[in-house]
Chain A
Amino acid sequence: MSTTISPKNAVQVEASAEVKAVHQQMLRQQRLNRAATYAVAILLVLWILVPIYLIASMAFTTPAAVRAYPKGVLPFIPFSFETMNFFLQSEGIIPGVINSIIVAIITLVLSTLIAAPAGYATSRFLFPGRDFYRLSVLAVRAFPIVVLSIPLAVVFINLGMYDSVYSLALMHTALALPTTILVIGSVFASIPFELEEAAQVFGCTPFEAFRHVVLPLVLPGIAAAAVFTFVMSWNEVFAASILTVQNRTLPAQVLAVLGQSSEPYQFAGAFFMMIPALIFIFFIRRYLFNMWGQVSK
């Protein structure tokens, strides 16, 4: 690299040979370290991607290929939508998907509506009890909330709300709420309050300032939190299995018939359930650090 620069001085003073040798060795070591890091990175990537590839290859092939032994890997596995079709046409799958989506959307809307004001309050106001509130929310998150499905099921039975996607959505909202509050709080905290004040100085009412300045800035972060909530609700299987009987969500349905179902059904189902994760995590990966990073502060 140094050759591209034209030194002003004709006489070049270089480091002594001994030191240069040390330098060379250091550079070699650095290159070696870097190569090793790459190797580790690629191994880790394979560790994650190979299983996903394997299940995907099973989801998109013929049932015969799924049952075959020994299984090959691509290109020996014929590509086909047969397994996936078979899964989607199985009993209870389409209603399950619809239920899952309904539950996830209600959860998403409800948790965002409840968490957004709370997140705004914790990031914008210094009020007595604020620290206690934040700490309580943190404590609630570090709690195995799903096991509360048992008492909730009993309550829902008494209230005649059992086995409904709506009551399941209420449970899922409780699951998602602590995280959503913290994430939205950190999203608001990242927008300096001066911006709102500036907007007010330039003639906005506090609400207009929020609407025109803060909202556009926080929307991506809130959307990311909402997407994460959606994925969480879509994946959740324990509460869904406890709280629904007839109106099962997709994971609850797959779990309920797991013992009696065929391998093509299971494998296609597993991959189908993964799809939202593959898509959504890509879009919100930047915000994941917001979500979990600020826990420790």
Chain B
Amino acid sequence: MNEEKQSTQKKRKKINWAPYWLILPSLIYLALFFIWPMFRGLGLAVYNDEAALSLQTEPSRDAATAGTLPQGTQVEILDQQGNLIPPDEAGQANVITEVWYQISAEDADGNTVEGWVSESRIRVREENEAGAPTAGSVRTRIGAGDTLTEVYSEPNENAEVAGQLEARAEVAITDQSILEIWYQVRGEDRNQTVEGWAQSRYIQVFGETNTGRIDRGNTGQFTTEYLSKMVNDRFFWPATITTFLLMILIIPVQFVLAIVMALVIQARLKGNSLFLYVFTIPLGISELAVGILWFSIFTQSGFLNSFLQTTGLINTPITFLSADTRYWIIIAIWLAEVWRATSIVMVIVVSGLQAISDEVLEAAELFGASLWQRVRHVILPMLKPSLQVALILRTILALQVFAVVIALSGGDVVTVLANETYRQYSEFRNANVAAAYAGLILLISMGSAVIYLRMIRSQEEMAA
């Protein structure tokens, strides 16, 4: 003890950084691929990045906020204006753009005019190697009274007019700018009319009309939208109920079977290592393969029907796996899961049993405990930490049951939470609702772990 104290004191004097360097990669990895995705997942489930659009008082980024409208609001488009955008923001969805050219040309009076003209007013005649226009001519206005084209001092129709050019005037193009259209919109949110400017990328315009819809927002908001979508999904309650039903059906049977297997191993029969190998095989078998395996037994032309028919117990094959015989699907999933995942419990129980010394068992025997009393008062209490771990692990694994269910039910007739997570993501392309399902699974697993630990602790307190 003294020595220990001394050594820790020595350590305190000079911190040894080596272990920290050694665990650092794993910490970084788990932070990147465990903690961060977890928060990101919870975010996906309850936070909508594009929930609302804040409208500006002026068609400018720096302008004050006029109010917000939620995603999906129908709006009236009152006005529109082009505005410079940085090149890296071009190309986004829904961005409606205008291109303006910086030109220099001579007007009708022979004065040199320099300024900006909208792309639609210039016919490009020359381009450089990069494809950028270098020269062109002013287009003719068709059917317009005024045939002159305004040149603005800035790429903006509201800017000062720098001069006017006649149709077909030759222009040199020195630069070009891309403008994004801003819309002045009016919409209603909770009976309040909000009016303001927004960039075209957020607005979906309906054809040539002056109405549109807020396609996506630019400010995030917490939302219960995905959660309610999940809860109101027609598969939600069946999936939840089936998940819990399977947990209740599978886990007790698994524990009894695993303890029996472990006791068989502990009996040290001849051929023990063979038994051990066979008992652990399912540990390494893919969930999907197990599902198909039990499908081959329960399907209409499967082994179970074949056996029953060959032995004369039935005349026509029974349809086990159909919507009308859901309970048979549950039974098949139950058998498949018991078959597949008992091994891991067995391994944990066996290593727990091995940690109990023979002398302790002998002492119990010598002090008068019968076989049952030894199991009850010595083996099970000493096995408790192992059983506890196995229980938590098993519950969490039971929540992930997925491929077995798909293989045996097609994923529709009987469904579970993990399957719904997959379906929401893959079939409905709704990552948010899928994340909500994933969050629910996380929550249930954490909850059950806490409940188990509580249960076990309160038992201890009762005993004490």
Footprint of B on A, CB under 8 Å? Answer: 34, 37-38, 40-41, 44-45, 47-49, 51-52, 54-55, 58, 67-72, 113-115, 117-118, 120-122, 124-127, 130, 133, 137, 140, 142-148, 150-155, 170-171, 173-174, 177-178, 181, 228, 231, 234-235, 237-238, 241-242, 251, 254-255, 258-259, 263, 266-267, 269-271, 273-274, 276-278, 280-282, 285, 288-289, 291-297
Indicate which residue in A127, A174, A270, A293 contacts B33 across the interface (CB closer than 8 Å).
A174
Given contacts A117-B21, A277-B285, A288-B283, list 8 more A-B pairs with CB under 8 A: A49-B278, A115-B26, A118-B26, A144-B400, A147-B418, A173-B33, A259-B410, A281-B281
Least CB separation from B338: chain A residue: A47
- Taking CB atoms, residues of chain B closer than 8 Å to A276 are 284
- Taking CB atoms, residues of chain B closer than 8 Å to A51 are 293-294, 297, 339
- Taking CB atoms, residues of chain B closer than 8 Å to A143 are 34, 396, 442, 445
- Taking CB atoms, residues of chain A closer than 8 Å to B275 are 41, 44-45
Could you name 6 residue pairs across A and B whose Cβ atoms are closer than 8 Å? A45-B278, A70-B307, A114-B25, A151-B40, A241-B422, A278-B281
Contact at A150–B277, with CB atoms within 8 Å? no
- Taking CB atoms, residues of chain B closer than 8 Å to A234 are 286
B398 to chain A, nearest CB (A): 10
Contact at A238–B34, with CB atoms within 8 Å? no
**Any A CB within 8 A of the CB of B122:** no
A96 to chain B, nearest CB (A): 12
Contact at B264–A267, with CB atoms within 8 Å? no
Identify the 7 closest CB pairs spanning chains A and B, nearest first.
A293-B351, A277-B284, A270-B292, A151-B41, A235-B286, A121-B22, A174-B33
A273 to chain B, nearest CB (A): 4
Query: Which residues in chain B, 392-450, are within 8 Å of chain A measured between CB atoms?
Result: 392-393, 396, 399-400, 402-403, 406-407, 410, 418, 421-422, 425-426, 431, 434-435, 437-438, 441-442, 445, 449
- Taking CB atoms, residues of chain A closer than 8 Å to B435 are 150-151, 154
Bound CA span A274–B297, Å:
17
Given contacts A147-B441, A155-B40, contact A281 B284 (CB under 8 A): yes
Contact at B26–A67, with CB atoms within 8 Å? no
Contact at B385–A125, with CB atoms within 8 Å? no
Bound CA span A274–B22, Å:
36
- Taking CB atoms, residues of chain B closer than 8 Å to A124 are 19
Contact at B306–A70, with CB atoms within 8 Å? yes
B438 to chain A, nearest CB (A): 4
B394 to chain A, nearest CB (A): 10
**Any A CB within 8 A of the CB of B350:** yes
- Taking CB atoms, residues of chain A closer than 8 Å to B438 are 147-148, 150-151
Contact at A237–B286, with CB atoms within 8 Å? yes
- Taking CB atoms, residues of chain B closer than 8 Å to A242 are 422, 425-426
Query: Which residues in chain B, 301-328, are within 8 Å of chain A measured between CB atoms?
Result: 301-303, 305-307, 309-310, 317
Contact at B422–A41, with CB atoms within 8 Å? no
Given contacts A37-B264, A142-B449, A259-B410, contact A285 B295 (CB under 8 A): no
Given contacts A37-B267, A147-B41, A148-B38, contact A285 B276 (CB under 8 A): yes
Contact at A255–B403, with CB atoms within 8 Å? yes
Question: Binding site of B, secondary structure by majority: helix, strand, loop or mixed?
Answer: helix
Number of B interface residues in the complex (CB < 8 A): 101
Contact at B40–A289, with CB atoms within 8 Å? no
Query: Which residues in chain B, 323-369, are within 8 Å of chain A measured between CB atoms?
Result: 339, 344, 347-348, 350-352, 354-355
Given contacts A37-B264, A44-B279, A259-B410, contact A54 B425 (CB under 8 A): no
Bound CA span A40–B449, Å:
32
Bound CA span A49–B279, Å:
9
A245 to chain B, nearest CB (A): 9
Contact at A70–B305, with CB atoms within 8 Å? yes
Least CB separation from A236: chain B residue: B286
Indicate which residue in B23, B285, B306, B339 contacts A121 across the interface (CB closer than 8 Å).
B23
Contact at A117–B22, with CB atoms within 8 Å? yes
Given contacts A147-B418, A177-B30, contact A293 B347 (CB under 8 A): yes
Least CB separation from A259: chain B residue: B410
Bound CA span A175–B8, Å:
35
Question: Binding site of A, secondary structure by majority: helix, strand, loop or mixed?
Answer: helix
Contact at B289–A118, with CB atoms within 8 Å? no
**Any A CB within 8 A of the CB of B462:** no
Indicate which residue in B20, B352, B431, B449 contacts A296 across the interface (CB closer than 8 Å).
B352
Given contacts A70-B310, A281-B280, contact A151 B285 (CB under 8 A): no
Contact at B285–A235, with CB atoms within 8 Å? yes
Contact at A289–B403, with CB atoms within 8 Å? no
- Taking CB atoms, residues of chain A closer than 8 Å to B267 are 34, 37
B130 to chain A, nearest CB (A): 26
B380-395 vs A: 1/0 string, CB under 8 Å?
0000011011001100
Bound CA span A277–B286, Å:
8
Contact at B288–A148, with CB atoms within 8 Å? no
B360 to chain A, nearest CB (A): 16
B319 to chain A, nearest CB (A): 13
- Taking CB atoms, residues of chain A closer than 8 Å to B310 are 70, 72
Query: Among A152, A177, A178, A288, which residue has the most Cβ atoms of chain B within 10 A?
Result: A288
A157 to chain B, nearest CB (A): 9
Contact at B19–A121, with CB atoms within 8 Å? yes
- Taking CB atoms, residues of chain A closer than 8 Å to B392 are 142
Bound CA span A159–B441, Å:
26
- Taking CB atoms, residues of chain A closer than 8 Å to B215 are none
A122 to chain B, nearest CB (A): 7
Bound CA span A22–B16, Å:
66
Contact at A148–B292, with CB atoms within 8 Å? no
- Taking CB atoms, residues of chain B closer than 8 Å to A297 are 355, 385
Given contacts A114-B25, A235-B286, A255-B406, contact A289 B347 (CB under 8 A): yes
Least CB separation from A40: chain B residue: B264
- Taking CB atoms, residues of chain B closer than 8 Å to A126 are 7-8, 11
Contact at B280–A114, with CB atoms within 8 Å? no
Least CB separation from A231: chain B residue: B284
- Taking CB atoms, residues of chain A closer than 8 Å to B301 are 67-71, 263
